[in-house]
Structure 1
Amino acid sequence: MTAINVENIKSHADVIASCGTKVGEVDHLEGNDQIKLTKHGDGHHHLIPVSWVGEITDNKIMLIKDSQEVKDTWVQV
């Protein structure tokens, strides 16, 4: 697996689950190991680990988790 360069994770990039569903947009990085998503429909930010990122292309962050797993395990902040 290719290492992910966290510097390529940009604000407002779409975050896409492995199933193709958009699960959010990047707000910013929290340190070097968490991605904070913009506020979700529930009015909260969510954190996902950078380790879930499989690929970064065309202002899209592609995850290795499907949308249900992401929503079941992301951290609400």
Structure 2
Amino acid sequence: MSEQRIKEDMEIIGADGVHVGTVDRVVGNRIKLKQPDSGEGLHKGHHHYIELGFVAGVEGAKVRLSAVAAIAVTLEEERSGKPTGPAAEA
């Protein structure tokens, strides 16, 4: 997957076509999500990241992930690389 094809404001969708987030930019080997699409509760209001390894392809103005949306949101990471899901709270 060529990260040069991933651009700001592209929609990120799960393998099922459901909205996961919006690209802010690519940082290293991760996609930085725009803040409004980043988390709930304690995880709301700051950027989250998704590893480029989860990208299945770029289709027009959409970045399709290899996981369905419900799973993809559990793969999001904090800036530090720590997970945002239940594993982060354990």
Normalised TM-score (structure 1): 0.85
Following the alignment from structure 1 to structure 2, what is the Cα–Cα distance between the partners of residues 37 and 23?
A: 9
Letter in 2 for 1:61: V
Q: Please give the alpha-carbon distance, in whole angstroms, between the structure 1 residues aligned to 2:2 and 2:17.
A: 22
Give 1:38-57 correspondences, 5 Å limit: 38-39=34-35, 40=37, 42-57=44-59
The percent of aligned pairs where both chains have the same amino acid is 27
Which amino acid in 2 is paired with 1:15?
Answer: I
CA RMSD of the aligned region, Å?
A: 1.3
2:32 match: 36
- Which residues of structure 2 form unaligned runs of 5+? 39-43, 80-90
Counterpart among 68, 74, 77 of residue 76 in structure 2:
74
Name the structure where helix makes up a greater proportion of residues: 2
Query: Which of the pair has the greater relative contact order for Cα pairs under 8 Å at 6+ separation?
Result: 1
Name 2:88's counterpart in structure 1.
none
| 2:11 matches 1:14 | yes
4+ residue segments displaced more than 4 Å: none
When you count strand as a share of all residues, which structure comes out higher? 1
Shift of 1:72: 1.5
Larger radius of gyration: 2
